[in-house]
Amino acid sequence: MLTFDTANDLANPLPLAQALIRRPSVTPVDAGALDVLEAALEQLGFACRRYPFGEVDNLYARRGTASPCFLFAGHTDVVPPGADADWQRPPFGAEAEDGLLWGRGAADMKGAIAAMVASVQRFLDAAGEPNGSIAFLITGDEEGPAIDGTKAVLKALADEGEQFDHCLVGEPTNPNQLGDTIKSGRRGSLNCTLTVTGRQGHVAYPERAENPIPPLLTLLGRLMARKLDDGVSPFQPSNLEVTSVDVGNPTTNVIPATATARFNIRFNIAHTGDALSQWIRDEVAKSDLDFDGRVEADIHVTGEAFLTPAGAFTTLLQDCVEAETGRRPALTTGGGTSDARFIQLYAPVAEFGLVGATMHQVDEHVAISDIETLTAIYTRILTRYFQDHPA
């Protein structure tokens, strides 16, 4: 387990960011990353608890018991780096050169975790004990199925009576420069696999077969023909995207027995996962009426759309970012999903972290100056939060 010589070491985010990056914590393997973080947080006076579920380990840490409780959430797991030879520098080497920190997880999101730890140290040095509590919820399953991570820990914490007043997620929300955007909501996501099962036969004798391809194409056509919405401010329009159509038929003279298709729907707050699922099932039922076979839909809603309305909390975040960067970040809801989709069921949540231009890419890196600025932003957020106690 990594330790630091003095508490002052924690006020500098770079050594902790490097220590975290050097743990090759590719989902669901932790590789000691949470041990590193736990040691740092214990040094800051946090009471730490581990929550293992399945193959995934998770960490919850809290300093104080009073309200309000400010929760920082994130993940130490990372996506695979690919071939080491494709990287200019070792993906888990955490090399700091020419003002840049290199390595898998530098942007997404070990750099932000280190910045928040450093900001707690700076806040305590300047302000002393907070008028409330600070907590960390760090998972090892954000880049994976997201079943045994934040979602599972939040339920366990709720069963234990833990409550949070507001949450900040350290995802890399800025597309180009620090201060671009704060995520104040996310679209929901639904995945569906359609499987049409007919009866195999010779193409010259179609009456002896039941071709699954036409009903699949008809069903897909009906689903794609629906305009889901025109967008609901501040969300973009919902969209259905077909990602695969497969038959697996290597011949030219055989009608296949099955045909499958997969699609994803990214939906805004005009819809719910249940309503969209029911619409798909209704369309599947119509396909069954004129087809002597089976049409099945395997539907998984991996997150509901949500919005944290603009208000005291989001304004506080914007003010703090603007004070350190000179740019007032826009409140946005675009992009993919994050663990904020689970947290929003327990507390108002927003997301702000580093620049994500290289996340999930070969040669992932961030500017060391951005990690320092993010630390200053997070310190300012903690200071303002415990002064203002936003509703």
- State the catalytic residues: 77, 142
Half-sphere exposure of 218 (CA within 13 A, CB side): 16
166-169 β-sheet, strand order:
47-50, 59-63, 133-139, 69-75, 166-169, 349-351, 181-183, 330-332
Q: Which pair of structure tokens corresponds to residue 292?
A: 């002597």
CA 273 to chain centroid, in Å, comes to: 18
- Collapsing DSSP states into helix, strand and coil, what is residue 331? strand
100-102 β-sheet, strand order:
96-97, 100-102, 365-367
CB-based burial of residue 6 (10 Å sphere; 0-12 exposed, 13-18 middle, 19+ buried)? Answer: exposed
In sequence order, the β-bridge partners of residue 261 are 194, 245
Question: What DSSP assignment string belongs to 308-324?
Answer: --SSHHHHHHHHHHHHH
Contact 203, 255 (CB under 8 A): yes
